[in-house]
Amino acid sequence: MSNVFAKDLLVGKVAFVTGGGSGIGAGLARMLAAQGCKVALLGRTKEKLDAVAAHITETGGVAKVFPADVRKYDDVAAAVTGCVAEFGRLDVVVNSAAGNFLSPAASLSANGFRTVVDIDLCGTFNVSRAAFEHLAKTGGSIVSITATQAAVPTPLQCHAGAAKAGIEKLTRDLALEWGRSGVRVNAVAPGPIEGTEGMARLAPGDMPDALRKRVPLGRYGTIDEVCDAVLFLVSPAGNYVTGATLLIDGGTSLLGAGPFLDLMG
- Amino acid letter, 53: A
Q: Does 263 bind ligand HXC (CB under 6 A)?
A: no
Among positions 178-237, residues that touch ligand HXC (CB under 6 A) are 192, 197-198, 201-202
121 within 8 A of 169, measured Cβ to Cβ: no
- Of the candidates 9, 40, 98, 135, which one interacts with ligand HXC according to CB under 6 A? 98
User: CA 206, CA 53: separation in Å to the nearest integer?
Assistant: 34
Q: Does 155 participate in binding ligand HXC (rule CB under 6 A)?
A: no
Q: Nearest Cα to 116, choosing from 184, 212, 201, 221?
A: 201
| Residue 109: φ, ψ to 5° | -75, 160
CB under 6 A: which stretch of 43-51, 105-113, 130-138, 238-246 binds ligand NAP? 43-51
CA angle 117–42–73, rounded 5-degree value: 55
Work out whether 19 is an interface residue with ligand NAP (CB under 6 A): yes
Q: 22 or 181: whose CB is closer to ligand NAP?
A: 22
CA angle 162, 99, 190 (to 5 degrees): 70
Nearest-approach distance from CB 218 to ligand NAP, in angstroms: 16
Stretch that binds ligand NAP, among 106-114, 188-196, 204-212, 250-258 (CB under 6 A): 188-196
At its nearest, how many Å lie between ligand HXC and the CB of residue 188?
A: 12
What is the SS3 assignment for 184?
A: strand
The site partner of 140 among ligand HXC, ligand NAP, none (C-beta below 5 to 8 Å per kind) is none
Q: How far is CA 16 from the centre of its chain?
A: 11
List the one residue out of 21, 94, 88 whose CA is nearest residue 55.
21
Residue 111 interaction partner, one of ligand NAP, ligand HXC, none, beta carbon < 5-8 Å per kind: ligand HXC
Determine the interface stretch with ligand HXC among 45-53, 57-65, 93-101, 217-225 (rule: CB under 6 A): 93-101
CA distance 23 to 187: 17
Evaluated on CA atoms 235, 238, 243, 244, the torsion sign reads: negative
Position 122 contacts ligand NAP (CB under 6 A):
no
Q: How far is the CB of 246 from ligand NAP (least distance, A)?
A: 12
Residue 179, number of CB atoms within 10 A of its CB: 13
> Which one of 84-92, 112-120, 211-219, 224-232 is the stretch in contact with ligand HXC (CB under 6 A)?
112-120
Q: How far is CA 17 from CA 12, 121, 254, in A?
A: 16, 15, 30
Residue from the set 99, 140, 161, 221 that interacts with ligand HXC by CB under 6 A: 99
How many Cβ atoms from other residues are within 10 Å of residue 116's Cβ?
23
> 3-state class of 253 per DSSP?
helix
Site residues (vs ligand NAP, CB under 6 A): 18-19, 21-25, 43-45, 48, 69-71, 96-100, 119, 145, 147, 190, 192-193, 196-199
Site residues (vs ligand HXC, CB under 6 A): 98-101, 103, 108-109, 111-112, 115-116, 147, 149, 160, 192, 197-198, 201-202
